[in-house]
Amino acid sequence: MIRGSGKIAFIVNPNAAKGSTGREWPHIKAAARDRLGPFQSHITAKPAEATRFARMVLRAGAELVICVGGDGTLNEVVNGFMDGEGHPVRRDAVLGFIPRGTGCDFRRSALVPREVNEALDLISARRVRPIDLGLLEYLDHTGAPARRYFHNVTSFGIGGEVDERVNRSGNLFGGFVSFIWATIVSFLIYSKKRIHLKVGDDYDQHVTIWNVAVANGQYHGGGMWVAPAASLVDGLFHVTVIGDLSLPVVFRELRNLYNGRIYQVEKVRMVTGKRVEASSDQRVLLDVDGEQPGRLPAVIEMVPGRLRFLAGLGGA
């Protein structure tokens, strides 16, 4: 069991899971103090603050940082762990996760329990695993070049449209229902995009797509099993290209987005690689770990084994 000090820091998004995380934080805090001992905590109040908090506590000597929130909050903390050159801010620091968000897709690939006490058990066991990250260069909403890391999935096409719609709805119906509703509505009004896609040295094509998912983890979009063979530790992106399907086929095969049979669908292809480049003459929105930060063009690079994460999938 880890017994704590000021070298343990919690970063908490109280607005995660429709605000329930803030209401549950006193209970989580008490349980964490019992398991881990003393720690410092930082409560976010605005976007990107989790990145600033993570970088601040790491530079002050924190050895274990625990994110309490969803995949979007975790993405911010991950970005706080990394500098602009692809290196950790503190090489010996470890990231833990208590999933409390709307979708919390990443926990499925990393085998992090959703229940608080079980997640604290995993943190106490200190099962550290170096996991891969993606480094994304893209255009933000103002059209300016931007870059950020991601731990789970970056997609472009209808995924970005779904994010935009879910964010506008405020997740009123809960994670799974919100994503299903937004996905169906988006399919009804979305126009497929024509993009130029290059993956590694073996795939270089102009394609018409509904969506492309560049996957480090297996799930995104509130439970969509978009990359059943993806691994957090294999040093490769698993890129799922959902091509020029007709709308009736899309609705007929929608269940296969959730049951692991996505590659049985016509015009769906998976390729692997360490570098992905995508561009389009059209406006194509990005989905990055459940957030919608901008649009194509994008260049995505694999950063293998760079983040020390407390995962249930084994390790030192």
pLDDT of residue 225: 96
Instruction: Tell me, rounded to whole angstroms, the distance of Cα 170 from its chain centroid.
Output: 18
Tell me the average pLDDT across 224-251: 95
Q: Could you tell me the CA-to-CA distances from 155 to 139, 204, 263 in Å, in that order?
A: 14, 17, 17
- Judge whether 238 and 217 are in contact, CB under 8 Å: no
- DSSP letter string, 60-117: TT-SEEEEEE-HHHHHHHHHHHB-TTS-BSSTT-EEEEEE-SSS--HHHHHT--SSHH
Crossing angle for the helix pair 116-125 and 20-36, nearest 10 degrees? 40
Digit-coded pLDDT (tens) for 67-101: 999 999 999 999 999 987 778 999 999 999 999 98
Q: Could you tell me the CA-to-CA distances from 70 to 4, 12, 114, 220 in Å, in that order?
A: 24, 10, 11, 12
pLDDT of residue 314: 57
- Judge whether 97 and 74 are in contact, CB under 8 Å: yes
Q: 208 pLDDT band (50/70/90 cuts)?
A: very high
pLDDT of residue 174: 52
Is CATH 2.60.200.40 the classification given to domain 134-304?
yes
Domain regions of the chain by residue span:
8-126, 134-304
Whole-number Å distance between alpha carbons of 42 and 12: 6
How much is the mean pLDDT over the chain? 91
DSSP assignment, residue 262?
G
Q: Is the pLDDT of residue 315 over 70?
A: no
Tell me the average pLDDT across 122-140: 96
Q: Which CATH architecture has domain 8-126?
A: 3-Layer(aba) Sandwich (3.40)
Which residue did the predictor score with more confidence, 190 or 269? 269
The residue assigned the tokens 């989580």 is 28
Beta-bridged to residue 140, according to DSSP, are 294
pLDDT of residue 3: 43
Whole-number Å distance between alpha carbons of 29 and 66: 11
Q: Is the pLDDT of residue 6 over 80?
A: no
SS3 for 215? strand
Digit-coded pLDDT (tens) for 279-289: 999 999 999 99
H or E element, residue 297: strand 294-310
H or E element, residue 145: strand 145-150
pLDDT of residue 168: 65
pLDDT of residue 142: 96
- Categorise residue 36: left if φ over 0, alpha if ψ from -120 to 50, beta otherwise: alpha
Tell me the average pLDDT across 216-221: 94
Crossing angle for the helix pair 175-189 and 158-169, nearest 10 degrees? 130
Q: Is the pLDDT of residue 4 over 60?
A: no
* Residue 243, φ and ψ in degrees, nearest 5: -85, -145
Sheet hosting strand 237-242, strand order edge to edge: 268-273, 237-242, 211-215, 153-157, 286-288
Which residue did the predictor score with more confidence, 165 or 207? 207
* Residue 241, φ and ψ in degrees, nearest 5: -105, 115
Q: 313 pLDDT band (50/70/90 cuts)?
A: confident
Whole-number Å distance between alpha carbons of 68 and 81: 15
Digit-coded pLDDT (tens) for 169-199: 555 555 556 667 777 777 777 889 999 999 9
pLDDT of residue 149: 97
Whole-number Å distance between alpha carbons of 76 and 78: 5
pLDDT of residue 270: 96
